[in-house]
A and B are shown apart, each in its own frame.
Chain A
Amino acid sequence: MIKVSDLQKTYNGVTVLDIPALKIAQGESFGLVGNNGAGKTTFFRLILDLIEPTRGEVMIQNQKVMRNDAWKSTTGSFLDEGFLIDFLNPEEYFKFVGKLHHKSEGDIADFLESMQDFFNGEVLETKKLIRDFSKGNQKKIGIAASLLGDPKILILDEPFTALDPSSQIRLKRFLTDLQTQQNMTMLISSHDLNHITDICSRTVVLEKGQIVKDLQTNSYTLKELENYFAI
């Protein structure tokens, strides 16, 4: 599904990411952990063609992502608030994104209906603009919008931070459902090792831009990760 070859990103001579080879299979849930500055967001941005790799390339479904539009129709993503259009209200925003994926008004309404639980009644019909929502609710809007186009690949950067406990649990259940029912490929980063081992079948640890661990999740994974990060 996603193939990374010889990917390198350098800023002023400092290498912030260096991944010689990595393959993510269809339906795999890929968890990314690492301390601040490990290169998690840089990696995601490279996959989404928002920064130019110094060397190497990323392929999605055998197509280069660089300066290409093809992957956009099958990839949903939410990294930070820059992925929202904050002067719209949520309904307008969902409608906008829906139209981009050629959804009808009915499809969009159905989709929002299915999201009601996750939104907890705080997002829709408030007449507020997205920029006036709290960080947590903005995150919910962004995550929902990334799913609106029925993506085959979902990329979320720290989806759990800023969410309240109930929403965290809901989101976790939700992501697991998407994997089992739709066989969606997921790339998720988090600072919470519990969340990652709960939802991801594969966990990769980044440190200073390098992959230092690549684990298939089992009952020992959490312990192993905790030992790794404990100094």
Chain B
Amino acid sequence: MLLFNLLVQDWKKGLRSQGFYKNLAVSFILGIFAMYLAAILLFLGFSLHELLEKIHDNLNPMELFNGIMLYIFLIGLSFRFFMQQLNTFNMASYQTLPIKRATLINFFLLKPLINPINYFLLLVVVPFALQSVMGYYNEWMAFRFVISFVLMSWFNSLMAAFLKRKFGTSLLSFVTVIAILGSISMLEYFQVYSLFHISKSLFGFIVIKPLGLILPLMAVGIAFLLNKWFFSQNYYSEAFNKHTDGDKTYNADLSFLNRFGIVGEIMSLEIKLILRHNRTKSILYMSAFFLLYGLLFYTNPIYTKSSGMLFFVAMFVSGLLMFMFGQWVISWDSSHFDSLMTQNIPIRTYLDANYYLLLVFNVVCFVLTSPYFYFGKQIMYMHLAAFIFNVGVNIYLLLFMSTFNTKRIDLSKSSAMNYQGTTFKSFLIIMPIFFLPMLIVWLLTTFASISVALWTLTLLGTIGILLRNQLITLCVSQFNRRKYALAEGFREI
């Protein structure tokens, strides 16, 4: 009962938070996006049976699905490890009330399980179970199939929270997880050993044997107890919030930037900002995933024919960090905006620094995505044209447009799926930047050729690079126009 009360209070907390109503437009767009995603998943769920039937081997669809189950499990776990937000319920205000600690801890642990995001994949699993598992076996197995999937996501959620609290998400753990995942898939690929077969027999056992469900139930129990154990070891909230504070100071040696004078100082300030806040760090992690976006498209024969789409992907991955941070370059500074405005920093220098920061981002992403050249000359030319277009056109557009994001951003809050500070405007800003070049490429390819399209964008980019000073001046006067609106917006907490 008490647990239920706490849940209701937490729900109210969300509902009554300032951002909720102000940001109705954003919630609406996100809602549409969620529905779109749900529709795709549902569609996938209904067609999965047929898709898997087409694979010519002697396994039935459920066996195939079970075979990749451990992969889903591992990827899900690592994804949660980086993205899942730890519960930041304000314990202090409850700790002093006569509520048993165990109740609070249970609430703490079980709350994430009611998050609908846990059950999103059921949109695939349930139709599949109804169609395929019920077709090949019986309704009890279909039921057990679904339940085992739910238990798996519970286990993941609990385990990820435990690991995150225990070890924290540092760069090291990120690299470790990626390395583990990478080596497992390498082993599978070179057929050294097969997680697929282990997974198939393990989940086969769980689903087919009547008592098989005991196994995942036990796993969930163990994960739950591990969490309990963690909280019994760390009684006070200061102890278990330690890892989540993100206080760890990255003392990256940025002294090489000193050579660039005040511009260099501001750049190193911005880099420190990115490395020292949860929110910006999780964007960095997310970017690492997004860099792989190209693999989805460049390998897919459907897309290789549509040059507009391919160019969009090339532009997106080769300018990834710029797109992730660019629109917010000014908003990131919202908590110390007054400081920057009253210090001895000419506005032009401030914008120059942000320009060079975005330029560095572009170069880094371009280099990181150069392995995609392996997919052929066309992709290479696309990347080159996209890079020049990003540096010559998009960079100024983002700098210019970033003056419209006047909402204060709270950097201390993590993480993925954190849309605080996102407004309707942010979507309006990014839409044309994303889709106009795509449209240009598509039109020019249709009426002329792909090389005409790429040369046009390259030319536009080159003009932008040559007119750098004039374009920055334009951004400076725009910034000066918007300065007071920005300062006022950032002061509103």
Q: Chain A 78-90, CB within 8 Å of chain B: the 1/0 string?
A: 0110111111110
B197 at the interface (CB under 8 A from A): no
Identify the interface centre among B272, B344, B488: most chain A CB within 10 Å of its CB. Answer: B344
B243 at the interface (CB under 8 A from A): no
Q: Which of A28-36, A96-104, A111-119 contacts B (4 or more CB under 8 A)?
A: A96-104
B490 vs chain A, min Cβ distance (A): 8
Identify the interface centre among A50, A51, A77: most chain B CB within 10 Å of its CB. Answer: A50
Give the chain B neighbours of A131 by CB distance below 8 A: 412
Are B341 and A100 in contact, CB atoms less than 8 angstroms apart?
A: no
B74 at the interface (CB under 8 A from A): no
- Known A67-B480, A96-B265; judge A101-B344 contact (CB<8 A): yes
Majority DSSP secondary structure for residues of B touching A:
helix
* Closest Cβ neighbor of A52 among chain B residues: B484
Are B343 and A72 in contact, CB atoms less than 8 angstroms apart?
A: yes
Q: Chain B 336-374, CB within 8 Å of chain A: the 1/0 string?
A: 111101111111000000000000000000000000000
CB < 8 Å A-B pair total: 75
Give the chain B neighbours of A72 by CB distance below 8 A: 342-346
Q: Chain A 25-51, CB within 8 Å of chain B: the 1/0 string?
A: 000000000000000000000001111
Interchain CB contact (< 8 A) of B339 among A52, A69, A84, A132:
A84
In chain A, positions 110-143 with a C-beta closer than 8 Å to chain B are 127, 129, 131-132
- Known A51-B488, A52-B484; judge A129-B247 contact (CB<8 A): yes
A159 at the interface (CB under 8 A from B): no
Are B344 and A73 in contact, CB atoms less than 8 angstroms apart?
A: yes
Are B339 and A83 in contact, CB atoms less than 8 angstroms apart?
A: yes
Are B337 and A82 in contact, CB atoms less than 8 angstroms apart?
A: yes
Q: How big is chain B's contact interface, by range?
A: 20 to 34
B407 at the interface (CB under 8 A from A): no
Majority DSSP secondary structure for residues of A touching B:
loop
Docked CA distance A69–B341 (Å)? 9
B338 vs chain A, min Cβ distance (A): 4
In chain B, positions 171-207 with a C-beta closer than 8 Å to chain A are none
Are A100 and B484 in contact, CB atoms less than 8 angstroms apart?
A: no
Are B483 and A67 in contact, CB atoms less than 8 angstroms apart?
A: yes
Q: Chain B 270-282, CB within 8 Å of chain A: the 1/0 string?
A: 0011001100000
Identify the interface centre among B249, B336, B412: most chain A CB within 10 Å of its CB. Answer: B336
Give the chain B neighbours of A209 by CB distance below 8 A: none
- Known A69-B346, A69-B347; judge A82-B247 contact (CB<8 A): no
Could you list 9 examples of A-B contacts with CB < 8 Å?
A52-B484, A67-B480, A72-B346, A82-B491, A83-B338, A96-B269, A99-B262, A100-B345, A129-B247
Interface residues in chain B, defined as those with a beta carbon under 8 Å from any beta carbon in chain A? 247, 249, 258, 262, 265, 269, 272-273, 276-277, 335-339, 341-347, 411-412, 480, 483-484, 487-488, 490-491
Q: What 7 A-B pairs come out closest when comparing CB atoms?
A: A52-B484, A82-B338, A69-B346, A85-B336, A87-B276, A100-B344, A67-B480
